[in-house]
Amino acid sequence: MLNQVDLTLSLDKETYKRELLRHQLALHDLGYQAYVQQRPVVMVFEGWDAAGKGGAIKRVTERLDPRGYMVHSIAAPKGDDAEHHYLWRFWRRLPEAGQIAIFDRSWYGRVMVERIEGFCTQAEWQRAYREINSFERQLVDYGTVLFKFWMHISKDEQLRRFQERAADPIKQWKLTDEDWRNREKWDLYYEAVEEMLLKTSTHLAPWTIVEGNDKYYARVKVLRTLVDGLSKALDYNPFK
């Protein structure tokens, strides 16, 4: 599946600026409509290290009403989160009706990092595909508008971004030893991602693979996907 992704897709800077503003304003309008219609919205961002998740989320939230959304940056579970079923900490962070929850990494860690690093058993991560599909089906049946993004870049592009971060004092904090260790396991993660996309992209909760080598293209595709999906779910045209 990932081998078929065209990572040469790009946008020039002027087109990017125009499309970014156009879709951000539309998303602002749709965020208000979600509140009016009392529809919860969930956005999931997964992807390779340095694939642009943070940059995409920043552009998504830039013109949203700050009272209407929450960003959850997900790391290893601690405290109460570590004492419950892995989905428990996501259930408790789901948005209220009319609100937006954005997950910077998510429950899919079960079938990626926890699988690769041995933080759960093989039986547990294999069972997780069914559990996740059931979880997402419950969300959608309740009325939640759900988006799932896989931010995809090439191995060479990841290395270039790592090296760029390492050389920039302002960005060095973004690069950790764990990033380099994960990179050494690229092939294992690639296999896990392929299986994840295949087994959890459903009719009710499909994945959107975002071609991320060009950050301009990736950010606009994320915004366009959100605007198109919310326009349909809310039966509202923000461009009229």
For 145-190, how does the pLDDT look when each residue is reduced to its tens digit (9 = 90+)?
999 999 999 999 999 999 999 999 999 998 999 999 999 999 999 9
- Structural domain includes residue 193: yes
pLDDT at 1: 82
pLDDT at 60: 98
Specify the length of the chain in residues: 240
- Cβ-proximal residues to 218 (8 Å cutoff; 6+ apart), any chain: 52, 55, 56, 151, 210, 211, 212
- Structural domain includes residue 165: yes
Query: Average of pLDDT values for 54-63?
Result: 98
Please give the tally of structural domains in the chain: 1
Mean per-residue pLDDT over the chain, rounded: 97
Q: Is the pLDDT of residue 240 over 90?
A: no
**Percent of the chain having pLDDT more than 90?**
98
Q: Is the pLDDT of residue 138 over 90?
A: yes
Query: Average of pLDDT values for 105-110?
Result: 98
Q: Is the pLDDT of residue 230 over 90?
A: yes
Q: Give the HSE-up count for residue 184: Cα atoms under 13 Å, Cβ half-sphere.
A: 5
Q: Is the pLDDT of residue 197 over 90?
A: yes
- CA–CA distance, 213 with 54 (Å, rounded to integer): 14
pTM, whole model, 2 decimals?
Answer: 0.96
- Structural domain includes residue 236: no
Q: In the structure, what pLDDT confidence band is assigned to residue 192 with cuts at 50, 70 and 90?
A: very high
- Structural domain includes residue 109: yes
Cβ distance 227 to 23 under 8 Å? yes
pLDDT, tens digit, 9 for 90 and up, residues 66-97: 999 999 999 999 999 999 999 999 999 999 99
- Structural domain includes residue 238: no
- Structural domain includes residue 240: no
Beta bridge partners, 85, equal: none
- Structural domain includes residue 237: no
Q: State the CATH number of the domain containing residue 158.
A: 3.40.50.300
Indicate the residue type of 7: L
Q: Is the pLDDT of residue 233 over 90?
A: yes
- Structural domain includes residue 239: no
Domain that holds residue 142: 2-231
Q: Is the pLDDT of residue 136 over 90?
A: yes
Query: Average of pLDDT values for 27-44?
Result: 98
Which residue reads 């599909």 in tokens?
Answer: 133
